[in-house]
Amino acid sequence: MRITSLGPTCLMLLLTVALAPAARADHTGDTSGTPDLVVDQKLLQNHWIVRDEDFAADDCAAVEGGISAGTHRVLRFSVSTPNIGTGDLALGDPNVHVANNDGLYEFAQCHKHFHFRHYAKYELIDPVTGKTWRTAKRGFCMIDVAPAPQLSDQPPKSWTYRICGRVGIPGNQGISAGWADEYYEFLQGQMFVLDGGDNQDPVPPGPYIIRITVNPPFLSNGTPQDPCLFQDSRGFCHQLPELNYDNNVAESFINIPDHPGRSGVGPGVNDKAPNDSDIHDDNGEPID
């Protein structure tokens, strides 16, 4: 496969000028530095649950996961991706990216809005055999959800990016330095289907590893729809610029029980679903 690359200075100008935020913001975005995304390992370790759930045939989680209507055993988990870099990750309006056909976003038919491509990869791994299962989650709306002072050297400031956008409705996506995007375990797609789905084998009870990779590496075919905007030291492509591509992975060791029931088993069993406003952007649109 052909891999193409542009110089880092040129690409930073591309993201900070051509793709600058178009919607309202609470503070002026800082694009003078470079973002650096990580995965909050502590949050991942402390917020997962295995339980039996009911799914309707038209649930996006069922449609994207390739599962039938009815009861399924799932492993749910929360993911937080703080930006610990020296500047904001500023992407702006997904409509502009789609109009430019730059390969950053795609339309999610079930959700009826744009999802960012190649933002994060979810894997469930058998530590003995190395067998890997992946979620069916297709993409993300990337916004400032929570400050992350415990993981960032950046001084606290107010948020900038909190509008996902929809078709024809401008958005303002990104993650401010010192802030994190968060996907609660209660959101659609934040799960592995343990009894089979998406043409994957069932997951037997036992010990496993949840591995989350933000801004994951991939190989590009060199087309405008699959661009290689940034390369790491190993020659792999990434869609987002970062100070460090070697800190993008976090893992959590878990144990999948045999009979979790509907109440569930795991450290997230007592987690409460967030308020409705916490899982919608500032225009009231869902961020799933």
Domain limits of the chain?
8-267
Following DSSP, what letter does each residue of the chain receive, concatenated? -------HHHHHHIIIIIT---S--SS----SS---B---HHHHHHSEEEEEEEE-TT-HHHHHHT--SEEEEEEEE-EEEEB-SSS-EEEE-HHHHHHHT-SSEEEETTTTEEEETTSEEEEEE-TTT--EEE-----B-----EE-TTT--SPP------B--BTTB--BEEE-TTEEEEE-TTSTT-EEETT-BTTB----SEEEEEEEEES--B---SSTTS---EE-TTS-EESS--S-STT-EEEEEEEE-S--TTT-BSTTTTPPPPPGGGGB-TTS-B--
**Is the sign of the CA dihedral 278, 285, 122, 70 positive or negative?**
positive
- Contact (Cβ atoms closer than 8 angstroms) between residue 86 and residue 243: yes
Measuring CA to CA, how many Å separate 59 from each of 12, 160, 276?
A: 38, 31, 18
Q: Is 172 or 200 the better-scoring residue by pLDDT?
A: 172
Q: Give the pLDDT confidence score for residue 285 in this predicted structure.
A: 62
Highest mean pLDDT among 35-39, 119-123, 148-152, 229-233: 35-39
pTM attached to this predicted model:
0.84
**Backbone torsion region of residue 197, taken as left when φ is above 0, otherwise alpha when ψ lies between -120 and 50, otherwise beta:** left
Highest mean pLDDT among 86-90, 207-211, 271-275: 207-211
Which amino acid is it at 53? E
Rounded Cα–Cα distance for residues 263 and 215 (Å): 33
Highest mean pLDDT among 20-29, 61-70, 161-170, 223-232: 161-170
**Is the sign of the CA dihedral 145, 149, 151, 152 positive or negative?**
positive
Rounded Cα–Cα distance for residues 12 and 31 (Å): 9
Q: Give the pLDDT confidence score for residue 107 in this predicted structure.
A: 84
Q: Are strands 249-256 and 206-214 parallel, antiparallel or unpaired?
A: antiparallel
pLDDT confidence tier of residue 7, bands split at 50, 70 and 90:
very low
Quote the percentage of the chain above a pLDDT of 90. 54
Read off the pLDDT of residues 248-285 as tens digits, 9 standing for 90 and up.
999 999 999 999 999 999 999 999 876 654 556 666 66
Which amino acid is it at 218? F
For 246, counting Cβ atoms within 10 Å of its Cβ (0-12 exposed, 13-18 middle, 19+ buried), the class is exposed
Average pLDDT taken over every residue of the chain:
83
Tokens of 277: 């406003």
